[in-house]
Chains A and B, each alone.
Chain A
Amino acid sequence: MSTLTINGQDLTLGDDEQLNVVQAAKKAGVEIPHYCWHPSLSVVASCRMCLVEVGEKKPDGSVAMMPKLVPACQTPAKANTVVVTDSDKVKQAQAATLEYLLLNHPLDCPTCDQAGECFLQDYSFKFGNAETRLQEPKEIRKDKDYIGEQITLFTDRCVMCSRCVRFTREISGTAELQIVNRGTHAEIDIYPGNPCDNKLAGNVVDLCPVGALCSKDFLYKQRVWWLKSRNSVCPGCSTGCSIHVDQNEDHIYRLKPRENPLAQGDFMCDEGRFGFKYVQAEERLTAPEWKKPQPESNGSSSSVSRWSEIVNHVRESFRLVAKKSPRSIAAVFSPWMTCEEAYLLASWLKKLSPQVRLTLGPIPVVGEDDRYPKNWRGEPLEPTKFTIRAEKCPNRLGVAAVLSHFQSIREDFSSIFNAARAGELQAAYVVGGGPPGWLSSDEVKALAQVPLLVAQDILRSELTNAAQVVLPGASFAEKEGTYVNHAGLAQMILRSVHPVAEGYNDCRIFMEISQREGLFNARVMRKEIAEQISAFRPIASGDLGEYGVMLPALQGAAKQANLSEARQ
């Protein structure tokens, strides 16, 4: 227990809280402006924006202030520290620092992508002077668009906070960026011929507190004040990075990492950051389709594209098959499904007949887990600060947990695959929802032999071409639900955009097929799942909060993560 005073206000910190004054002040509700300090990076105290008055309260009650201002980011918040951030001295220092930082700033906010979320703008507004006293012409420096494949540098906007440099040295360990020259000529640059193209490079754009480093992918696409942001989870790998999905008018423009100490920390990888494009690809399924075979005519088939008719057809035909031979019905769940979807589909099929075979489809695994930071040989160093997992799907644990509740004996996908190839299946329900290339063409060929094949996916593929019924579902950005990451952390995803054209939220499709009453509500569904499935007890409130909820029952399963069943 330690008590310190911030602007005359007492703040008590726990013994395990090792904070600096910036963090402590934030806890007390006081904002200390800062550029160079970042919670995940080392402290350099170079921007001088966080200068505050600091003193010590003596046991006799008197306060001894330090004669000079000190950087708050470098000052540990220990007991009896007295911090003053609103004195004239501090305010003058802040204004002077800002004026200095803005000396050579081009003030091209109208054309700058950062405008609207720029700390130069925010701090100038809150702490700065309205006018500059600089008389001389500003120094104009050349932009550097060679910094990286995804990164461009507007050199004259830079405030030399060195966050990006420290990131490449401390988090990714690749150390491509550096500061060249000294004093007022200092610039961010790369080593010639060694661009900043590591798998975490996109994070330097987020780290940049001003508009110096910009993402080429997002460059000039939108003004940030038009973007509407919803919390979600990256579906790229089983790390399950917390993200913001930024969209405007139903178009996703960028994903940004959302700070989550339980999941991944402050960052995300470029695979996930730029890997969402399939969500708005041309190949998206836009309307449901039921290709009716017409035996009496010359083989051509007519097709139906009305949801109500198709849903009825699926429901009735599965019911008929389940009556005759329930073992010939199989459902392939994808690891991109949310727990709610898996629950709804499994409960419908198991209600038809307990003998229906449910299986988790192939788990995409690419290489091995990619751990950062790395040394110059590319070998991972301890302690690991960021991991890109080999398992390229977000919810294997969650779907598997739901399936094991409905079906005590686990069905491997390979057995379903063999049954399909042998022609033993009468009906199959395959749910996709992820990026293209989930099922191999062998698997599709086998499934195509099933007479009644229902494919619910978001992209046109071999599978949907072969299927008798095609149902357009929703991608991760278009639905609500729960993903459970590699460590058993259940996180909420929220709907950011509308499903494409006539596409439906997957849960809605399942609810209509199973004739459940009411509209889908993820929160209510989570409560139901928590009641039914013991592994999901911790989410019984239905609310997972910003960081998500750990599911201890699945943590054990995560430890013995058996990748052998997955296809290499």
Chain B
Amino acid sequence: MAISEKDIVWVEEPSIGLWEAMYLPAIAGGLATTIRHVFQKPVTEEYPEVKPVLPLNYRGVHRLNRDEQGRVKCVACMLCATACPAHCIDIIGAPTPWEDRDKYPVKFEIDELRCIYCGMCEEACPVDAIELTSIFDLTGLSRQEMIFDKDKLLSVYDKTVQGGKDPARTTRGVLGPASENLVPAERMAWPIDELPSSQVNS
């Protein structure tokens, strides 16, 4: 579609007078700007010493959530593995040892090196079991240790819960029917502004 004439705004170039043609005032103005910046506070964050406070919807290391009874919340539906564009999620499902649920993951591995942290797994999850936390400084000395298994992913959950770094998305709203039979009413809709102030990023 061609751009219609009424949408075009013709801007005339500013005319150059004696003041501009002398250059020196502009240079002086520029110098003033640079000198002003010399006395401004640096914006640098000295990373290893000072850790940045990331927004709680940052997409960092994954975690596997636990349900009320401390069991893994995942039902091994493998929708995350289906949605994953990097094919970094590997799940083996099995019948649960529990009465109230059918299926759970006996193996749940995420290759954090292969992951592109797009968050599609989180979007796909029908039971809000997999979430991306704001942990970003993930390093390892071998490929093997960067493949996070179920225990490691659950420990990320424990760590983030204890550290008050729950991802903001946890409070999104009603969970899928297969996750829990009863969702406490107060958890069903927890507006973001009612979060404890420590959780809301400045």
**A–B contact via C-beta, under 8 angstroms:** yes
Residues of A that sit less than 8 Å from B by CB: 106-111, 143, 154, 219-221, 223, 225-226
B94 touches A111 (CB 8 A): no
| A143/B82 contact (C-beta < 8 A), A107-B177, A110-B126, A220-B95 known | no
| A110/B82 contact (C-beta < 8 A), A143-B102, A219-B95 known | no
Chain B nearest CB, measured from A552 CB (Å): 48
Write out, one digit per residue, whether chain B residues 69-103 have a CB within 8 A of any chain A CB (1) or not (0): 00000011111001000000000011100000111
A110 touches B94 (CB 8 A): no
Write out, one digit per residue, whether chain B residues 124-163 have a CB within 8 A of any chain A CB (1) or not (0): 0011000000000000000000000000000000000000
- Hey, which chain B residues are within 8 Å of A221, CB to CB? 93
| A225/B126 contact (C-beta < 8 A), A110-B176, A111-B102, A219-B95 known | no
The list of the 4 closest CB pairs from A to B, nearest first, reads A110-B77, A220-B93, A111-B103, A110-B126
- Hey, which chain B residues are within 8 Å of A225, CB to CB? 82
> Could you show 27 A-B contacts with beta carbons less than 8 Å apart?
A106-B177, A106-B178, A108-B102, A108-B177, A109-B77, A109-B178, A110-B75, A110-B77, A110-B79, A110-B176, A110-B178, A111-B75, A111-B76, A111-B93, A111-B101, A111-B103, A143-B102, A154-B102, A220-B76, A220-B93, A220-B94, A220-B95, A220-B103, A221-B93, A223-B77, A225-B82, A226-B82
- Hey, which chain B residues are within 8 Å of A106, CB to CB? 177-178
Interface contacts (Cβ under 8 Å), in number, total 38
B82 touches A223 (CB 8 A): yes
Chain A nearest CB, measured from B174 CB (Å): 14
* C-alpha spacing A181/B165, complex, angstroms: 52
- Hey, which chain B residues are within 8 Å of A109, CB to CB? 77, 178
Q: Which of A110, A143, A221, A223 has the most CB of B within 10 A?
A: A110
* C-alpha spacing A108/B177, complex, angstroms: 7
* C-alpha spacing A219/B106, complex, angstroms: 14
Among residues of A, the one whose C-beta sits closest to the C-beta of B182 is A137
- Hey, which chain B residues are within 8 Å of A108, CB to CB? 102, 177-178
- Hey, which chain A residues are within 8 Å of B177, CB to CB? 106-108
- Hey, which chain A residues are within 8 Å of B82, CB to CB? 223, 225-226
- How many B residues touch the partner, as a band? 10 to 19
| A110/B95 contact (C-beta < 8 A), A154-B102, A223-B82, A225-B82 known | no
Residues of B that sit less than 8 Å from A by CB: 75-79, 82, 93-95, 101-103, 126-127, 176-178
- Hey, which chain B residues are within 8 Å of A110, CB to CB? 75, 77, 79, 126-127, 176, 178
- Hey, which chain A residues are within 8 Å of B127, CB to CB? 110
* C-alpha spacing A223/B79, complex, angstroms: 9
* C-alpha spacing A207/B75, complex, angstroms: 26
Partner of B178, one of A111, A219, A220, A223: A111
- Hey, which chain B residues are within 8 Å of A154, CB to CB? 102
Chain A nearest CB, measured from B108 CB (Å): 13
B78 touches A223 (CB 8 A): yes
Chain B nearest CB, measured from A427 CB (Å): 47
Among residues of B, the one whose C-beta sits closest to the C-beta of A142 is B99
Given A111-B77, A220-B95, 10 more contacts at CB 8 Å? A106-B177, A110-B126, A110-B176, A111-B76, A111-B93, A111-B178, A220-B76, A223-B78, A223-B82, A225-B82
- Hey, which chain B residues are within 8 Å of A223, CB to CB? 77-78, 82
* C-alpha spacing A219/B102, complex, angstroms: 11
Chain B nearest CB, measured from A137 CB (Å): 9
Chain B nearest CB, measured from A357 CB (Å): 51
Chain A nearest CB, measured from B102 CB (Å): 5
Among residues of B, the one whose C-beta sits closest to the C-beta of A154 is B102
- Hey, which chain A residues are within 8 Å of B79, CB to CB? 110
- Hey, which chain B residues are within 8 Å of A107, CB to CB? 177-178
- Hey, which chain A residues are within 8 Å of B178, CB to CB? 106-111
* C-alpha spacing A110/B78, complex, angstroms: 8
* C-alpha spacing A106/B102, complex, angstroms: 12
Chain A nearest CB, measured from B188 CB (Å): 16
- Hey, which chain A residues are within 8 Å of B101, CB to CB? 111
Among residues of A, the one whose C-beta sits closest to the C-beta of B100 is A140
Q: Which of A106, A109, A220 has the most CB of B within 10 A?
A: A220
* C-alpha spacing A221/B95, complex, angstroms: 10
* C-alpha spacing A26/B82, complex, angstroms: 32
* C-alpha spacing A220/B96, complex, angstroms: 11
Among residues of B, the one whose C-beta sits closest to the C-beta of A226 is B82
Chain A nearest CB, measured from B183 CB (Å): 13
- Hey, which chain A residues are within 8 Å of B95, CB to CB? 219-220
* C-alpha spacing A110/B124, complex, angstroms: 11
Among residues of A, the one whose C-beta sits closest to the C-beta of B126 is A110
* C-alpha spacing A111/B76, complex, angstroms: 7
* C-alpha spacing A221/B93, complex, angstroms: 7
* C-alpha spacing A225/B95, complex, angstroms: 20
Chain A nearest CB, measured from B147 CB (Å): 17
- Hey, which chain B residues are within 8 Å of A219, CB to CB? 95
Q: Which of B76, B82, B94, B95 has the most CB of A within 10 A?
A: B95
Chain B nearest CB, measured from A155 CB (Å): 12
Chain A nearest CB, measured from B165 CB (Å): 27
* C-alpha spacing A225/B101, complex, angstroms: 23
* C-alpha spacing A108/B104, complex, angstroms: 13
Among residues of B, the one whose C-beta sits closest to the C-beta of A137 is B181
